[in-house]
Amino acid sequence: MARKNRVAVIGASGRMGKAIIQVLSQSKISELSAAVVGKGSVYLGLDSGLHSGLKQNEILFSDDLSKSISESDTVIDFSIREVLSDVLSTCKEFKKPVVVGTTGLTETHKELLKETSKTIPIVYSPNMSIGVNLLFKLTEIAAKVMGDLADIEIQDIHHRHKKDAPSGTAEKLKAILLETLSRTESNIVHGRNGILPERDPKEIGIHTFRAGEVIGDHTVYFFTPEERVEISHKAQDRKTFAVGSVKAAEFLIGREKGLYDMFSVLGL
């Protein structure tokens, strides 16, 4: 039997880290090689399998980024944006491909991704879900067909713990609409309040909810005087993001340097 693809997971003790470890435990192609947590984490030294609701896997949570990445074949990063620079520089040092699913990235972070991708292959997406990436593609198609005829709104609903707003997925939907329709940030309205003038025909509204334990719901609305088209995705389990992340890591095996997205991974 061929050796499995060894995957280091950064941010392994978090919600997404746990889901990725669960998916890797069932993969026929990949396996967990390292579970990385932050310096001083209360999880240091604990078994990552037990923490993830699995049987003991003898891969202990570690804060040794260099050792974990150097001994892996690919890396999946779902940590926090403050450590992205260290993750990318270490992957670059050991020439390891990396999947970046961390959200809330600034333009500086995105430029760093572009620069690093000149040396190693990287998959970056604000949402690794297969279904959400289909949502992205359908939104692009709908915008080409209806964009100049319709009023467009984006709705973003997540759990009360999520810090960035709008979500990375909502930001990506916005970017798709702006590019497809040749509009700019000046056309974006975040929520509405007070006495407002009549809606501008090119306006795109974004509405953010943070409540309860919603994993992630996104809807793009296209309203015309005669009809309404709604394109929605509702995540029912975090494993949907984990499955896409592992698929992206496997896509990177033997891949040339460059910056890829989930459209590349899924052949969209």
| Angle, helices 130-146/239-251, rounded to nearest 10 degrees | 90
Structural domain that includes position 152:
130-234
pLDDT in tens, 21-53: 999 999 999 999 999 999 999 999 999 999 999
Residue of 158, 174, 218, 239 marked catalytic: 158
User: pLDDT exceeding 90 applies to what percent of the chain?
Assistant: 90
Same domain, 163 and 121: no
The CATH number assigned to the domain holding 202 equals: 3.30.360.10
Q: Residue 2 has what pLDDT?
A: 76
Same domain, 134 and 94: no
Q: 228-234 and 217-223: which strand pairing?
A: antiparallel
Same domain, 208 and 145: yes
Contact present, 73 and 45 (Cβ < 8 Å): no
Same domain, 42 and 141: no
The pLDDT confidence band at residue 259, using thresholds 50, 70 and 90, is: very high
40 a known binding residue?
Answer: no
Backbone phi and psi for residue 195, each to the nearest 5 degrees, phi listed first: -90, 115
Residue of 67, 137, 162, 207 marked catalytic: 162
Same domain, 82 and 143: no
Average pLDDT over residues 202-211: 97
Query: Lowest mean pLDDT: which of 30-39, 122-131, 138-147?
Result: 122-131
Contact present, 74 and 252 (Cβ < 8 Å): yes
DSSP 246-265: HHHHHHTTTPPSEEE-HHHH
Q: Residue 247 has what pLDDT?
A: 95
Same domain, 112 and 144: no
Same domain, 152 and 197: yes
Q: Which two tokens stand for residue 127?
A: 């949402």
Contact present, 152 and 199 (Cβ < 8 Å): no
Average pLDDT over residues 13-28: 95
Report which of 210, 103, 233 is spatially closest to residue 159, judged by C-alpha positions: 210
Mean pLDDT across the chain: 95
Same domain, 174 and 246: no
Q: What is the CA radius of gyration of the chain?
A: 20
The CATH number assigned to the domain holding 250 equals: 3.40.50.720
Same domain, 175 and 223: yes
Is residue 158 part of the annotated active site? The answer reads: yes
Is residue 190 part of the annotated active site? The answer reads: no
Q: Residue 174 has what pLDDT?
A: 98
Same domain, 134 and 228: yes
15 a known binding residue?
Answer: yes
Sheet holding 217-223, edge to edge: 188-190, 204-210, 151-158, 217-223, 228-234
DSSP 170-201: HHHHHHHHHHHHT--GGGEEES--SS-PPPPT
160 a known binding residue?
Answer: no
The rounded Cα 138 to chain-centroid distance in angstroms is 18
pLDDT in tens, 50-86: 999 999 999 999 999 999 999 999 999 999 999 999 9
Report which of 219, 202, 205, 208 is spatially closest to residue 150, judged by C-alpha positions: 202
Q: Residue 27 has what pLDDT?
A: 94
pLDDT in tens, 153-180: 999 999 999 988 999 899 999 999 999 9
Report which of 262, 165, 170, 268 is spatially closest to residue 221, judged by C-alpha positions: 170
Q: Which two tokens stand for residue 264?
A: 């590349």
Task: State the total domains in the chain.
Answer: 2
Q: Which two tokens stand for residue 266?
A: 């899924």
Is the pLDDT at 114 greater than 90? The verdict is yes
168 a known binding residue?
Answer: yes
Same domain, 188 and 243: no
Same domain, 173 and 82: no
pLDDT in tens, 85-106: 999 999 999 999 999 998 888 9
| Angle, helices 239-251/15-26, rounded to nearest 10 degrees | 60
